[in-house]
Structure 1
Amino acid sequence: MSNGARDLLRNTWHLGLKEFSSLAGDMALMFIIVFMFSASIYADARARPETLHRASIAVVDEDGSQLSSRIIAALHPPQFITPEMVSLDDMDRGMDAGRHTFVLDIPPGFQRDVLAGRAPALQLNVDATRQSQAQTGAGYIQSIVGEEIRAFAQRSRPAAVPPVELVQRTLFNPNLSNAWFSAVTAIINNVTMLGILLTGAALIREREHGTIEHLLVMPVTPLEIMLSKVWSMGVVVLLASSFSLQVVVKGIIGAQVAGSAVLFGLCTFLYLFAASSIGIFMGTVARSMPQFGLMAILVLLPLQILSGAMTPFESMPGIIQALMSLLPTTHYVALAQAVLFRGAGLALIWPQLAMVAVIGTVFFALAHHRLRQTIGTMQS
């Protein structure tokens, strides 16, 4: 190894250790790291209920039959609170006052029409201002009513044998648990967020504390300064995300991760090379920490929303897909989901891994060029 390479490694190592010391003294950033990979992950998985829970429902029973009683009895906790029986005149007043999210109106002669083979209509009134419950609850009620009608009708006439039987097999998430998906997706998003924020904040912190002038008089190069921030902040985010995956997601939430945690860690460290380069580039553009924070909002929101972590990438317009394919976040989300959700190996994810490496190298070169210009301006 030549003396130049040895000096590069030694300076990069010691500057990286200095970054650890500076980060340990910044209690605000330390709190953000701990919070984002612990309480934030748990909140994303548990705070948003994945199924309907204790929705308010009222029933107008104009039929008073055995079938209507069965339907009312099937609307029970925990999906719904005990149905409130109201009259036809009180139905609108209850909806207007916000007491009921759903009101089911069972018309007169409903059971008679069902047994006669006619197709009677039920009226379901939904308070759509409660959007999450309205969308999920309407499907629940439709399914419950349909099941009760089928069960009741089969008692009076033989059940028709369907010509085709659909056998459903659910892979990778057999319980259809939204908490599993939300927790892993939150880790992926937080890796992007902190990978950019920590390196950019580290560079701006040098400028605000005046330590950048100390570095300028030392025999270190912009490349060594940049590499030290990339590897040190990358190690911090990698350790935090690994801890969150093993302790919070697997241990506390109980999610089953199909893939290799080691492979996910290696992919994450490579991706942090690209994310840190973006953060350093932003840190050379911003002049202060508040300015960097505003810039981060404009960058992080599109990266997370359009990367495929929150919505399927294939459902986006073609021009959005083309633009986002030029950013490393889209490829990282694809490979991370493939590894953690479907247990994919290196043979399947190497195209996305190669794209992350290529795009990360481009961003690293741009950030290095910008950092050299910034340091040259300060020296002159």
Structure 2
Amino acid sequence: MTGLRTAIGLMSGTSLDGIDVALLRTDGKAVVERGPSMGRPYDAAFRRRLQGALETAKAIGERTERPGDLAEIERDLTLRHGEAVRAFLAENALRPADIDVVGFHGQTVLHRPNAGLTVQLGDGGLLARETGIDVVHDMRANDMAHGGQGAPLIPAYHAALAAGLSGPAGRAVVFVNIGGISNITFIGAEGAIVAYDSGPGNTLIDQWVEAHAGIPYDQGGMIASEGRVDPGLAGRYLGHAFFTDPVRRSLDRNDFSPPSGAEASLEDGARTLAHVTAAAVIRSARHLPERPKLYVVCGGGRLNRVIMGDLAALAETEGAEVVTAEAVGLGGDSMEAEAWAYLAVRALDGLPLTFPGTTGVKAPVTGGVLRKPAAAD
């Protein structure tokens, strides 16, 4: 490594709400200089197409297959990412030549770790041509090829961020990302890293309010704040074998389904699912090697005050504190996009992206596919 690289990270998560863009200067190791970020929401029509893509993708048997309209959606998704990069560069007075690499996550439409199958829509070659910048994409597949779950990938970046956190030394820290699916990264007092998906995040709540109120999400937890937790319904989710299985695994969006309309009122359903999201984090944390003392929360779920209130209350009973990423000087909305920039730099240098303690891969392994504008196909 000769120095720092400037990278852009692009993330489109399981919430299907849009593209997060973030700039990072890093050596892919300990040095992290966070830059500007932006969000670019999907229009409602394209979001519906992505929702349909999740159903179409269930027919995929090989990760290169694109049944139905998936090839067209993949192209349109990639073009939207190209537009997002160009808008970001213009907004920050940057040129393509100022950027060394783009880390492109794409859109996960199928994730079956037990079958060694994960599919992220996104054409890295097309994005390289559209932006004029080298692109690293498809960062999960090599992990699966070596026996890993293909997720989560963000822990390598969490570890770099944890090293810069101020506060009492010698305490275990957990990063909690509440996106469509929630995941946690444990950074032990001695630097050990353990990470895995912790349960449903915003997905169930989003599906519930969209089906019963016609809106894409419960902004700030306003609907949930008017409801009450249904113990039976909550217990059904929290009694799932996922939470007691000693083998941690990554989740697909379809592993948990929203309640039927007859099971709860709009408000009680939203309130119950918010509680499930918070309780899932604490239950999953019981599989960690030691109880954390600090939870740092990022992702869209941190803006839901009901989720955050329940999470803080549950953590307090175990002697832990819950804070947002912003409270410790980090970016709660941009962290995943930053991670993809960081991972792209690591991929360029052949550094590991995943580890036995994060995805269950047999040994640390790198990943990603590099596409260059001139040679992109």
Q: TM-score, normalised by structure 2?
A: 0.25
Structure exhibiting the larger radius of gyration computed from Cα positions:
1
More strand by share: 2
TM-score (norm 1): 0.24
* Bigger share in helix: 1
